[in-house]
Amino acid sequence: MFEGFVDERIDVGEVALRVRHGGDGPPVLLVHGHPRTGSTWHRVAPRLVEAGFTVVCPDMRGYGRSGKAAIRPDHSQQSKRAVAGDLVRLMRHLGHAEFAAAGHDRGCYVAMRLALDHPAAVRRVVLMDGVPISEALARCDARFAEAWWHWFFYAQPGKPERAILADPDAWYTGSPERMGAANHDEFRAATRDPETVRAMLEDYRAGLGVDRQHELDDRAHGRTIACPALFLWSTGDDMEELYGDPLAIWREWAADIRGVPIESGHHMAEENPAAVAEAISDLLRRGAWSTRRTPPRPAAPRP
């Protein structure tokens, strides 16, 4: 995977992030979802490099081989705001003062938070297979609860960790044929590591609490996504079943947004990477923007 990419670990303050990056041109940050790592983009990233972009694929804090922050009572150490702050510092470290961001699944919420909290840095945003957490919870009915029960189970203290680690394959399915052998190996290693599993669950605990409140605060203060945005949803997932027109929800959050359905199951970057890469490339080429670069910072030594 990621032939020609640099694979390194970079200290961004509270944690160090494992990141793969390569290419030359306008930078795009790709943010994975649960329970994947940055390797989920292994079929998309080379296509974007070939299209003329610099591509950065980190493991989010708590996930994969990235650092795990100390758990706080309100779970804010795994909030999307905290993750977004990590990623802005990562991009600055790599010399990218301005960049595009794309996020899938839980990474969709991070990409949204990046665009809302760091509008001077994020010039384009791609939101994939998700609607804002507060919007999903406001529409939560019996159908949602049946399909997305794991949101509420994962938020409970202690028990989800015990259940998952007792039999990871019963919780997290994937095959090397569909995912790619190396990507599958990385995914299986992550879902068997107790610290990673706990941090991934903290993502959900933050989601129902501090993340939801951050979004409600945004709405109360009229904050919306200012940059051009793209919403991608998998035709084989349940976005339309749950929300009718999910793009209509996003129009309340971003004035300049369009939508593209992707013929795929939920893990679209693995299942239809050509369509994903093409859609992202199209957005990034919409109206050229000049990207300010900052000198790359030397990595700080870690004890």
pLDDT of 298 reads 44
As to burial, measured by CB atoms within 10 angstroms (0-12 exposed, 13-18 middle, 19+ buried), residue 124 is: buried
Tens of pLDDT, residue by residue over 20-51, are 999 999 999 999 999 999 999 999 999 999 99
Two structure tokens written together for 302: 């870690």
Tens of pLDDT, residue by residue over 134-151, are 999 999 999 999 999 999
What are phi and psi for residue 125, nearest 5 degrees?
-140, 135
pLDDT of 286 reads 79
- pLDDT beyond 90 at 103: yes
Domains of the chain: 6-285 (3.40.50.1820)
Q: At CA 268, angle to CA 27 and CA 260, rounded to 5? A: 75
Residue 71, C-beta contacts closer than 8 angstroms, at least 6 positions apart: 77, 198, 202
What's the whole-number mean pLDDT along residues 46-66?
Answer: 98
- pLDDT beyond 50 at 234: yes
- pLDDT beyond 90 at 225: yes
What Å distances lie between residue 191 and 32, 45, 254, 276, 300, CA to CA? Answer: 15, 23, 34, 25, 29
Percentage of the chain lying above the pLDDT 90 cut: 92
pLDDT of 296 reads 46
- pLDDT beyond 80 at 299: no
Q: At 221, is the secondary structure helix, strand, or coil?
A: coil
Which residues have a catalytic role annotated? 105, 266
Tens of pLDDT, residue by residue over 72-85, are 999 999 999 999 99
Averaged pLDDT score across all residues of the chain: 94
Q: Which residues pair with 8 in a beta bridge?
A: 19
pLDDT of 301 reads 34
CA atoms within 13 A of residue 105's CA, in its CB half-sphere: 21
What's the whole-number mean pLDDT along residues 203-207?
Answer: 98
- pLDDT beyond 50 at 300: no
pLDDT of 190 reads 96
pLDDT of 287 reads 61
Paired sense of beta strands 229-234 and 27-31, if any: unpaired
